[in-house]
Structure 1
Amino acid sequence: MNPLFRTLSQYLTCALAATTLAACAGDPMESGLDPFAPMEFKEGTTKMPLNPPNPSTLLPFYVSQHTVFKFAVDTDSILIGADGVTRYIVVMTNPSGGQQAQYEGIRCDSFQWRLYGTLENNVWKENPLSSWRGIQSNVPNRYQAALAQGAFCNFNSQEKNIKTILQSLNPNGFTGGTKPTNSFGIQ
C-alpha cells in the first residue's frame, strides 16, 4: 500500500473519530440541555387591579348543582398572561346576598390556582401567603375547576383567544366542565 495513501487513510480515520466524539459531546442528554425536557415555570409580575369589579361586565357562570353560592367573573378583568397564567376577578355571592370579590390566577398546564388578593372596603388587599394550589374538581364550590374546564383552558393548555373565552363563558352554553368539551365546544 502506498505510504501517502496510508497516511491519508489514518488522517481520515482520526477525523471521523474526532467528529463522532464531538457529536457525542453535543448530545443534549449528556450536556443537560434536553430540548424535550419540561420547561421550568417562571411566573410574571402580577399587579393588583386598580378598581373593584364592574357590575356591568359581571358574567355569572354555572359551577355545580351542589353549591348554594352564585359566581360571576368580571369579563373586563380577564388577562391572558404570557407566563401561562390567566388572571381574573371572581365575585361570589352567598345565599343572603353578601358578596366577596377575589383576584385570582389559573395555570392550565398544572391545573392550579392562586389567590392574589381580595377586595376589602373597595380596596384591593394583596394576599401575603399566596401560593399555587391544586384545583379541586370534586367539591361543591369548584368554581376554579368550572372556569378552567369551561373557558380558560383548552385541555391542559392556556386558551390564548379572549373572544373564545368570552364565547365559552356565555351562560346559555357554559358547561363549567360538566361534560367533556374543548374551547371550541366540540364534544
Structure 2
Amino acid sequence: MSSFMQRISQLLVCICFASLLLACAGDPIESGLDPFAPMVFKEGITKMPANPPNASTLLPFYVSQQTIFKFAVDTDSISIGADGVTRYIVVMTNPSGGQQAQYEGIRCDSFQWRLYGTLENGSWRENPLSSWRPIQNNVPNRYQASLAQGAFCNFNTQEKNIKTIVQALNPNGYGPNRFTGGTKPTNSFGVE
C-alpha cells in the first residue's frame, strides 16, 4: 500500500504544481497583461469618400457667435468606427459663398480630430500629413468641438447610434445637447 500512497502523493504534488503554474499564467502581473491598463489606440483603415457631399443631406449646425463661417455636416457620410473614430464630411461656407469640404474624424476618448482629406475639383485628395490634433474649444471656428460636444460624443465616449447623432444635429431634434440653429447648444452642466 505504501507504493500506492506514494503515487497518490506524487500525483497530488503534480496537480498542485500544475495549478500553481496555471494560476501564475493568469496573473496579470506575471503575464504582463493588466486588464486595468489603458488600451493602446489602434486606428482602423480609413478610405476616402467615393462622392462629394450630398447637398440634400447637408445639415447646418451651430458653432459659435464669433465665427463668420457657416458649417454643415453630410449626415450620409457619418460613420461610427469600431476603432472609436467617428468619421464625417464637413462643409464650410465663407461669407462670400465659397465652400470647402473636408473628410475628418473625431476621437471622443482623447478629444482629438484628424483631417483625412479635402475635396478639390470634385474629387477627394488625401492629406499625407494627417495626424491627430487636440480639439480647440476656445476658438471662433471650433466646429470639431461643436460636433464632438453636441452630437458625436457622450462626454468622453463615442456615441454608437447614428440615429441619435442625426437627431442631435437636427435643429428640430430633442434633448439638452441638440443643436438649435442660432441658439448655443449646452451640455448637461449648461456649458457651451
Shared fold, TM over 0.5: yes
- State the match for 1:174 in structure 2: 179
Residues 73, 89 of structure 1: 8 Å contact kept: yes
SS in 1 for 2:41: coil
What is the count of residue pairs matched by the alignment?
A: 181
1:73 corresponds to which letter in structure 2?
Answer: V
SS in 2 for 1:39: coil
Please give the root-mean-square deviation of Cα atoms over the aligned residues, in Å.
2.6
1:101 corresponds to which letter in structure 2?
Answer: A
Deviates more, 1:71-80 or 1:35-44: 35-44
Q: CA deviation at 1:23?
A: 2.5
- State the match for 2:147 in structure 1: 147
What TM-score results when the alignment is normalised by the length of structure 1? 0.84
SS in 2 for 1:165: helix
Residues 145, 177 of structure 1: 8 Å contact kept: no
Are 2:60 and 1:60 equivalent residues in the alignment?
yes
Structure 2 unaligned segments of length 5 or more: list them.
173-177
**1:148-163 to 2 correspondences below 5 Å:** 148-163=148-163
**1:128-147 to 2 correspondences below 5 Å:** 128-147=128-147
Measure, in 2, the Cα distance between the counterparts of 1:132 and 1:171: 29
Measure, in 2, the Cα distance between the counterparts of 1:138 and 1:178: 15
SS in 2 for 1:179: coil
Note closer, same or farther for the CA distance 1:177–1:88 as it changes in structure 2 (3 Å cut). farther
Q: Any runs of at least 4 consecutive aligned residues in structure 1 with deviations exceeding 6 A, and if so which?
A: 7-15
Q: What do residues 140-164 of structure 1 show as CA deviations (whole Å, max 9, x unaligned)? A: 1110010011001111111111110
Q: What do residues 59-96 of structure 1 show as CA deviations (whole Å, max 9, x unaligned)? A: 00000111111100001111111111111000001111
1:179 corresponds to which letter in structure 2?
Answer: T
SS in 2 for 1:147: helix
Percent identity over paired residues? 79
